[in-house]
Amino acid sequence: MPITTEFMLHFAGEWIAAWNAHDLECILSHYTDDFEMSSPLIVQLMDEPSGTLKGKTAIRGYWSKALARLPDLHFDLEEVLVGASSVVILYRGPRGSSAEVFWFDAENKVCRAAAHYPG
C-alpha cells in the first residue's frame, strides 16, 4: 500500500515530538525489532566503521549515547516528503538542516532508516 499524506504527516509529528521529549521508548515504538539504521554518527559514537546497526538493542545503545551527549537536543520540522514505501523528514537540529529517510514494512513500522547531515 502506498504511504498516504495523512500517515506521513502523523508519523513525522510523532517522531519529532518523541525526539524532542527525549523519550527513547516512544522513538523506538515506530520501528520493527530488527530494523537497520545507518548514520555517519554511528561511526563516531559506536566505533562501527560501516555506519550501520541492526536491531533495537544495538540502536537503543546508540541513541542512548546520543541523547546523553546532547541533553538539550531539539528538532524543528522543516518538510516531509513521501515516496512509495518511504518518508523523508527534513528537520533542523544541532547539526543544522538534516534529513532522515524511513522505509516501512506492511504494518507501517520502520524497517530501515538512514540519517543525513550537512557535510
What global pTM score does this model have? 0.94
Predicted pLDDT of residue 101 = 98
Cβ atoms of 113 and 36 closer than 8 Å: yes
The backbone torsions φ and ψ at residue 106, rounded to the nearest 5 degrees and listed phi first, read -65, -25
CA 39 to CA 18: how far, in whole Å?
Answer: 19
How many CA atoms, within 13 angstroms, populate the side-chain half-sphere of residue 57?
A: 0
Instruction: Check residue 35 and give its pLDDT.
Output: 98
Strands 110-116 and 96-104: antiparallel
Instruction: State pLDDT tens for residues 38-78.
Output: 999 999 999 999 999 999 999 999 999 999 999 999 999 99
pLDDT value for 1: 61
